[in-house]
């Protein structure tokens, strides 16, 4: 079994993969439908195709094992949340007729790990850890000193992965009807997961 994981920057052609990953990361179908409408995959794909949205391909990395796509991660400068949300919400409003009203999930002073997903057949092979390390490296090379994320209080398995990679609880917040832990990690630059173009 091939466990050789490579991480590359996403392109606009990866929009459907990114949408699938974001939907998996949100995980709650009712929250997805409330946020993006019943055809949420199509809306998320359109969002991922743009250059200035929260889930833009420009902010995504893709994991591959051989020629197979194994997962995706999206992250961006938390200080840009409102600007990115404006473009994201414009796509949602155009496609659903409504504007979402949700709490801020990040803030200035952190590079935000918005969503990470490993596709079912590749779980347990280190893909999630490789994606997170690669995103942290990308953030560090872009001059950020801290990565933050939120994780559902009822998902201790995900929190264990994050803490094993150096993240620590710094607070909590409500998001999409769920109580979340806010975790952060001070950044380091590692060469363990190089990006391929």
Domains in the chain with CATH codes: 5-196 (3.40.630.30)
Report the pLDDT value the prediction gives residue 193, as an integer from 0 to 100. 47
Length of the chain (residues): 197
Name the DSSP class of 50.
S
The contacts of residue 50 (CB under 8 Å, 6+ apart) are: 56, 87, 91
- Residue 62 · residue 8 · CB < 8 Å: yes
Euclidean distance between CA atoms 148 and 170, whole angstroms: 9
Give the pLDDT confidence score for residue 191 in this predicted structure: 46
* Positions in the chain short of pLDDT 70: 1-2, 188-197
**Closest to 102 (Cα-Cα) out of 82, 125, 123, 129:** 82
How far is it, in rounded angstroms, from Cα 166 to Cα 137? Answer: 13
pTM assigned to the model: 0.90
CA 72 from centroid of its chain's CA atoms: 7
Which pair of structure tokens corresponds to residue 21?
Answer: 């990953």
Is residue 105 within 8 Å of residue 54, measured between CB atoms? no
Burial class (CB in 10 A: 0-12, 13-18, 19+), 102: middle
Which letter does DSSP use for residue 119 in this model?
-
Geometric angle at alpha carbon 10, from 63 and 97, rounded to 5°: 115
A 10 A CB-CB count for 74 gives 27
Local structure of 5: helix, strand or coil: strand
**What pLDDT score was predicted for residue 117?**
95
> Is the CB of residue 193 less than 8 Å from the CB of residue 73?
no
Question: Tokens 């473009």 correspond to what residue?
Answer: 87
Predicted local confidence at residue 197, as pLDDT:
46
pLDDT the model gives residue 190: 53
Return the pLDDT at 192: 47
Please tell me the predicted confidence (pLDDT) of residue 9.
97
Q: Where are the alpha helices (DSSP H) in the chain?
A: 15-26, 29-36, 40-49, 81-96, 127-141, 156-164
């Amino acid at each position: 079994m091939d466990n050789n994981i490579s991480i590359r920057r996403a392109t606009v052609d990866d929009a459907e993969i990114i949408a699938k990953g974001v939907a998996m990361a949100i995980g709650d179908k009712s929250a997805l439908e409330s946020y993006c409408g019943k055809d949420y995959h199509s809306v998320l794909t359109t969002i991922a195709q743009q250059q200035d949205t929260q889930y833009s391909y420009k902010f995504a990395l893709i994991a591959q094992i051989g020629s197979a796509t194994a997962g995706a991660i999206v992250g961006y400068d938390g200080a840009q949340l409102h600007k990115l949300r404006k473009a994201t919400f414009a796509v949602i409003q155009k496609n659903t007729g409504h504007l979402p009203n949700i709490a801020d999930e990040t803030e200035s002073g952190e590079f935000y790990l918005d969503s990470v997903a490993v596709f079912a057949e590749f779980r347990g092979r280190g893909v999630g850890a490789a994606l997170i390390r690669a995103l942290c490296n990308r953030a560090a090379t872009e001059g950020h000193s801290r990565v933050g994320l939120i994780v559902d209080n009822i998902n201790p398995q995900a929190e264990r992965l994050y803490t094993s990679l150096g993240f620590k609880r710094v607070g909590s917040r409500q998001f999409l009807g769920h109580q979340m832990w806010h975790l952060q990690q001070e950044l380091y630059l590692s060469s363990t997961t190089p990006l391929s173009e």
